[in-house]
Structure 1
Amino acid sequence: MKIKLFNDKKQLSGDLKITGSKSESNRLLILQALYPSLKVENLSNSDDTQYLKKALASEEELIDIHHAGTAMRFLTAYFATREGREVVLTGSPRMQERPVKLLVDALKTLGADISYEKEEGYPPLRIKGKTLTENEVKVQANISSQYISALMLIAPSLLNGLQIDLVGQVTSAPYINMTLEMMKNAGVTGEFTKNKIIIGPAEKLESKTIAVESDWSSASYFYSLAAISETAHLRLGIYREKSLQGDCCISEIYRQFGVETHYEDDAIVLKKTSQKKPRHLAENLIDSPDIAQTIAVTCLALGVNCTLKGLHTLKIKETDRLAALKTEIEKFGSSVKISKDSLELIPQKDFTKNVSVATYNDHRMAMAFAPLGLKVPFEIEDAMVVSKSYPDFWKDLEKLGFNIGRA
């Protein structure tokens, strides 16, 4: 569905409850599958989490996780440990273009039985579950953190636990730390020092209820809205001052745009306190690449030059996000330079009108561009792609005064 959106209100205010973190929810679902004594509250209502939940409950041989990249990585490791279970794990056409070889190779080092149904290195995968006896594996540290987290999550279920040696510079360390802290909170023993992760074995865990924090990646779009508006007072729940999510760094980055963050009970309050903005924004997002699209569009809206680095993992997401950002931003009349791991925006004062933004089956493309509707009316193609992580996104924008209609 294509939509047209615009909001000519210069003052934004609202009280919204954001769905539980997809990242936290998906990790906890794998842990719960391994240790049914765990209970989970405030699960994400995203498509990705629902596909993962359905896959874990399925007894079918064919498991289709559609566009859910996290589910593909986590389930590859999970099913490799399910002795006597054989599955074919597949996904959408785009999912079958996303590499998984490094994770498969690591699991094979541990003794897993995994083969490729089509092209080597890519889904679909045939996985024959078995008891994995090895307890040490080496992986490149600059690969997607989801590969590493997938190995960490199955580690306590292995007879001797697991030691993961990371080779090179670590990418997205906060996501690795998130996985470890969630596991420790559930009762698993583990540590992450320098380039070594050690997870101890656990035959069972004590009964415990764990509440999922709301998603900071989803909150980022409201930071963008606050920055672009003249004044803003937005209350978002449920958030914690000491978050496990790497994307919480958005609160510090957006102080440069005059957006202050205040913590009240289980919520954050975003206030636009000034019209200040940087002349040039330079950020290394190696630990939080998922907010790159949000920041780039904010800078586009406010006419701020920006240089974003540490983005090499964006090329293997739902789409090549660097190429997609360049294409769609340039439709508005600004120019973008990209490399294999960076983006530089040179904005223009005037916006090209009647632009239609393509979303490339990528939820973040739709949501990152949406705040631009405070500046210029435009269209967003395949708008319901947001259901991948935030199904109520458009409803929440309407609560803030956005006029959203079919194009």
Structure 2
Amino acid sequence: MKLFLSTPPTNLIETNIQVTGSKSESNRLLLLQALFPNIQIENLSNSDDGRVMKNGLGVSFGEVDIHHAGTAMRFLTAYFASQEGKEVVLTGSKRMTERPIKVLVDGLKELGADIEYERNDGYPPLKIKGKKLIKSKVSLPANISSQYISALLLIAPSLENGLELDLVGKITSVPYIKMTLGLLNQVGVTTFFEGNVIKVSPEKDVLDKIMVVESDWSSASYFYSIVALSEVGTKISLTAYKSDSLQGDSVLAELYRDFGVETTFLENEIVLRKTAEAQPSINYDLSNAPDIAQTIAVTCFGLRLGCHLTGLHTLKIKETDRLEALKAELSKLGANITVTDKTLTLKPSKTINNEVAIDTYNDHRMAMAFAPLALKNSIIINDAEVVSKSYPDFWTDMEKLKIGIKEL
């Protein structure tokens, strides 16, 4: 599906949007629910990733295809490895078979897991025979995707002796690790995190618990971008959000002050207001929130600002190589941009090319990050349906902003 987005009649916007539950929280809670059925979940994400995670957890034998869902690949690898009697082949899309998983597999094997590579060493598909994992100590590099770490932490309470995890080096994406530990604590699991050591105590059962998933902060980022690109006076209310969020991307509320966007926390919602013009230059270390890098880079380009973003090394192994994808698509629009394997530098642009077709690379965040540019110029989004991976209602919500949307 190719969509043509045309500029709204006014850039002074006021609307209310309800955002689906966090994909990150939903997938963590679904795994915990599979281990501890007493847990009930409300406001689950309606994303493709959430659906394939839930379906995968219901399989005991045969093939499990998680398509493009990287979180599901990591979490289900750990889950099936720890489930005695289950035997599956875990696979996904072509891109998924190119995304490394060796660090996690090595860690699980250190605990006694039985996992084999079906094709290429270090990459899916994986043949997994579930076993009772007795060992309780493992070490992992600290500068890897936090999903490897969270995968181990989530199965830890179901292991006979719990888990002691030693992280070697500087830790990446600490907020996502703390999200996992926070959810474990909320369902009654005892955890310890100090320095580079994390311990999770074993639990045979947890009390009946209703867990309400907070709406997705990564999805909120696109509305922060829209408000930043709008006129002073724009106001968008988003539900359902918490001031004490477990999600690392909630740092948006702080970062987007530099773009003139103020965030007000009310009961169960946030109100975004454009109150001032943006700062002349943006410099952020996004090592703790890399998923918002695309949004920030596009916001800066739309405002004709320069920016320098660091801490982006994990973006190379996402749904696509997000740094190279950003470079290619922003260049089409007229940007002067350079990237390395962990940084992005954008120089202020004088023009924004009109009616450019943006390729999305099977990456939901590419489609959604570029959509707000419709406030500045008409734009075309190729393979726009890719947003269903995390935010199926995205284009419907864009229409509430009076952005013209036409299928080509």
TM class by shorter chain equals: over 0.9
Give the corresponding residue for 1:355: 356
Say which SS state the counterpart of residue 205 (structure 2) adopts.
coil
Shift of residue 404 of structure 1? Answer: 0.4
Alpha-carbon distance in 2 for matches of 1:378, 1:370:
8
- How many residues align? The count is 406
Q: Deviations over 1:174-227 (max 9, x none)?
A: 000000000000110001111000000001111110100000000000000000
Are the counterparts in 1 of residues 228 and 260 from structure 2 also a CA contact under 8 Å?
Answer: yes
Q: Which residue of 2 aligns with 1:24?
A: 25
Runs of 4 or more off by more than 6 Å in structure 1? none
1:47-87 CA-partner distances (Å, limit 9, x unpaired): 00000001112344110000000000000000001111110
- Once the two structures are superposed, residues 92-116 of structure 1 have per-residue CA deviations (whole angstroms, 9 ceiling, x without a partner) of 1110100000000000000000000
Question: Structure 2 CA distance, aligned partners of 1:305 and 1:196?
Answer: 38
For the residue of structure 2 that corresponds to 1:61, the secondary structure is: strand
Q: Which amino acid aligns with 1:262?
A: T
- Residue 119 of structure 2 aligns to a residue whose secondary structure is coil
Q: Which residue of structure 2 lines up, in the alignment, with residue 204 of structure 1?
A: 205
The answer for the alignment partner of 1:236 in structure 2 is 238
SS of alignment partner, residue 54 of structure 2: helix
Report the AA paired with residue 142 of structure 1: N
Structure 1 position 7, deviation (Å) = 2.2
Which one of the candidate residues 230, 236, 253 is aligned to 2:255? 253
Q: Give the 5 Å matches for 1:341-380.
A: 341-380=342-381
> Counterpart in 2 of 1:398?
399
Q: Are residue 310 (structure 1) and residue 306 (structure 2) matched?
A: no
> Contact 2:31–2:75 at 8 Å: present in 1 too?
yes
Structure-2 residue corresponding to 1:267: 269
Residue 176 of structure 1 aligns with which residue?
177
| Aligned 8 A contact 2:61 2:87 in 1 | no
Q: Report SS of the residue matched to 1:11.
A: coil
Structure 2: how far apart are the matches of 1:126 and 1:217?
32
Q: Structure 1 CA distance, aligned partners of 2:59 and 2:77?
A: 15
Conservation of the 8 A alpha-carbon contact between 2:60 and 2:87: no
**Normalising by the residue count of structure 2, what TM-score does the alignment of the two structures yield?**
0.99
Map 1:275-294 → 2, pairs under 5 A: 276-294=277-295
Instruction: Report sequence identity in percent.
Output: 57
Could you say what secondary structure the match of 1:16 adopts? strand
* Residue in structure 1 matched with residue 85 of structure 2 by the alignment: 84
1:46-61 matches, within 5 Å, as 46-61=47-62
Secondary structure in structure 2 of the residue aligned to 1:40: strand
Output the CA distance in 2 between the equivalents of 1:45 and 1:251: 24
Q: Which residue of 2 aligns with 1:4?
A: 4
Q: Which runs of 5+ in 2 are unaligned?
A: none
- Please provide the CA RMSD for this pair: 0.7
C-alpha distance after superposition, 1:275-306 (max 9, x if no partner): x2111100000000000000000000001100
Cα distance in 2 for residues equivalent to 1:74 and 1:310: 24
Match of 2:156 in 1: 155
Deviations 1:203-254 (A, max 9, x none): 1111110100000000000000000000311110000001000000011111
Report SS of the residue matched to 1:197: strand
**1:406 Cα offset (Å):** 1.2
Q: Which residue of 2 aligns with 1:93?
A: 94
Deviation at 1:354, TM superposition (A): 2.4
SS for the counterpart of 2:234 is strand
User: Which residue pairs with 1:71 in the alignment?
Assistant: 72
CA distance in 1, matches of 2:7, 2:238: 20
Question: What letter matches 2:15 in structure 1?
Answer: G
